[in-house]
Structure 1
Amino acid sequence: MKVYLVSNWAAKVNQNKPKEIWATELIKERLGNVAIQKDSNGKPFILNSSSFINWSHNDDTLIYVLSEKGKVGIDIEKDDLIYNEHLYGWILHKDEIQKLKEGTTFSEIWTRKEAILKCTGEGINENMGDFSSYQKMKFTVKTVFMNNLCISICSEFDEEIEILMDYTTSYNIE
């Protein structure tokens, strides 16, 4: 599976278009103007393709993943996302609260959880606290910390991950 990381991504889009389509438009352009649509839950897919796609972004970085094998989900956050129980307590399972107490960063827990929900197509919902992103499941979740970012990738299959940064630098993660 290939993961593409685009720094300063907002400067590479047509800002005269609506902000909610910036990521889609940039990805379509980078992939050769493929047709990308979203299902009723907002999960993206490439029309008439056997490839699976998902993406995430923050103010500076856009990251997207392509897999030929199966469903994928990806999330990106700054690596120092602060846990605030009042704001985020409802999303955590008791196992994840224990992980926080043991030193796992909130960025890791949050990105794992969101990557799983993107992979399954559920998206953020009120039942997020019902499952642990660390429980044994049929999906594989990998988390990487790089460039002050926390990136979690969820896939149906345990695949080698190649991260391509602006198409110039490549990192392999197993």
Structure 2
Amino acid sequence: MKVYLENKWKTKVDSNSPKEIWATELIKDRLGNVAIQKDSNGKPFILNSSSFINWSHNDDTLIYVLSEQGKVGIDIEKDDLIYNEHLYSWILHKDEIQKIKEGTTFSEIWTRKEAILKCTGEGINENMAHFSSYQKMRFTVKTIFMNNLCISICSEFDEKIEFLMDYTISSSIE
């Protein structure tokens, strides 16, 4: 599985095009102008390909993942998201609330949960508190902290992760 990280990604897009297609257009360009579409739930896929794709971004960084083996989901956030019970209690399972009390960052919990929901194709929904992102499941979730970012990747199979930063390989994670 390859994870591509584009720093300052907004400087690499055509700012005259609609904002909602910036990430898609940059990824299509980087991958050789492949045809990317989204299913009825908004989960992206590459048309006429056996590869699986997903992406996430913030203001500075675009990150996308490709797998030849199975479904994937990815999420990226700053590593210092603050948990506000009033705003976020509806998304957390009681096990995740306990993890916060024990010192796990909200960034880790949020990115894990969102990566899982992107991998399954469900997306953010009102049932998010019904499962813990730490419970045993059929997917593998890995979280990495780097460059003041928290990145979680969910995959159908336990694949080796190869990071490519602006197309320079920076590290691999088993």
Same fold (TM over 0.5): yes
1:32-111 to 2 correspondences below 5 Å: 32-111=32-111
Give, in angstroms, the shift of residue 143 of structure 1. 0.1
> What residue number does 1:150 align with?
150
Gaps of 5+ in 1: none
Name the SS for the 2:33 alignment partner.
coil
Give, in angstroms, the shift of residue 168 of structure 1. 1.5
Over the aligned positions, Cα root-mean-square deviation in angstroms equals 0.4
Separation (CA, whole Å) in 2 of partners of 1:121 and 1:88: 21
> What residue number does 1:7 align with?
7
Name the SS for the 2:115 alignment partner.
helix
Do structure 1's residue 134 and structure 2's residue 134 form an aligned pair?
A: yes
Gaps of 5+ in 2: none
1:109-124 to 2 correspondences below 5 Å: 109-124=109-124
Separation (CA, whole Å) in 2 of partners of 1:111 and 1:51: 22
- Deviation above 3 Å: which 4+ runs of structure 1? none
* Number of aligned residue pairs: 174
Separation (CA, whole Å) in 2 of partners of 1:105 and 1:57: 19
Do structure 1's residue 24 and structure 2's residue 24 form an aligned pair?
A: yes
TM norm structure 2: 0.99
Separation (CA, whole Å) in 1 of partners of 2:60 and 2:167: 16
Identity across the alignment (%): 88
Name the SS for the 2:114 alignment partner.
helix
Separation (CA, whole Å) in 2 of partners of 1:147 and 1:36: 29
Separation (CA, whole Å) in 1 of partners of 2:169 and 2:136: 33
- The one-letter amino acid paired with 1:74 is I
Separation (CA, whole Å) in 1 of partners of 2:128 and 2:20: 24
Separation (CA, whole Å) in 2 of partners of 1:173 and 1:58: 23
Separation (CA, whole Å) in 1 of partners of 2:49 and 2:115: 22
Whether the aligned pair in 1 keeps the contact of 2:162 and 2:169 (CA below 8 Å) is no
Name the SS for the 1:48 alignment partner.
coil
Deviations 1:100-139 (A, max 9, x none): 0000000000000000000000000000000000000000
Separation (CA, whole Å) in 2 of partners of 1:101 and 1:163: 31
